[in-house]
Amino acid sequence: MILQPQFAAQSPVSAVRQRTTSSRLQENTFLSNPPVISIIDDDGSVRAATGNLVRSLGYVVHTFASAEDFLRSLHFRNTSCVITDVRMPGMSGLDLQAHLLAKGQTLPFIFVTAFSVDSDRDRALKAGAACFLSKPFDGETLIECLETALAQRGRAASK
């Protein structure tokens, strides 16, 4: 799914407030075993805001300042979806996706970037990314991407 930048006046957290957590959780069947979402972004404020949004939906969230931190973490193996910045110091989000694919590990990826470049978008989507978002994006758009990514994972797991 390719999504164009969303320039909403509200923050991702206030977008979630419009959609109550309880109604969102009723739509999902993961109450006893919520998916684990790993958020990787070198910008601490984006990492925190995205983490708060995703956590408010009932998911388990782990945040990382770099792709290398994610790969070294204990949470790496139980991640259901990765939300990552494209450009970061060290290993980029695109390089992380390629690294995992080369090792035979397929995880749904949602990419976010402040510097949308067509070649980056094409590379991410060709490698199977669920979404590619330009910053700033609104909370509802990220929620839709997350639902798409987890549905992809569910379909892949059932094959």
User: Which residue ranges make up each domain of the chain?
Assistant: 12-25+33-157
Distance, in Å, from the CA atom of 67 to the CA atom of 41, rounded to the nearest integer, reads 8
Which pLDDT score, from 0 to 100, does residue 103 have?
94
Question: Is the peptide bond prior to 89 cis by the omega test (within 30 degrees of 0)?
Answer: no
Distance, in Å, from the CA atom of 82 to the CA atom of 104, rounded to the nearest integer, reads 16
**Which tokens sit at 13?**
């957290």
CATH T-level fold of 12-25+33-157: Rossmann fold (3.40.50)
Give the chain's largest Cα–Cα span: 41
Predicted structure pTM score: 0.81
Q: Are 105 and 82 in contact (CB under 8 A)?
A: no
Helix or strand holding residue 62 (H, E): strand 60-64
Lowest-pLDDT range, 21-30, 75-84, 90-99, 150-159? 21-30
Lowest-pLDDT range, 6-10, 13-17, 95-99, 129-133? 6-10
Residue 4 CB-half CA count within 13 A: 1
Which pLDDT score, from 0 to 100, does residue 43 have?
96
Q: Is the pLDDT confidence value at 23 over 50? A: no
The stretch 83-105 carries a mean pLDDT of 97
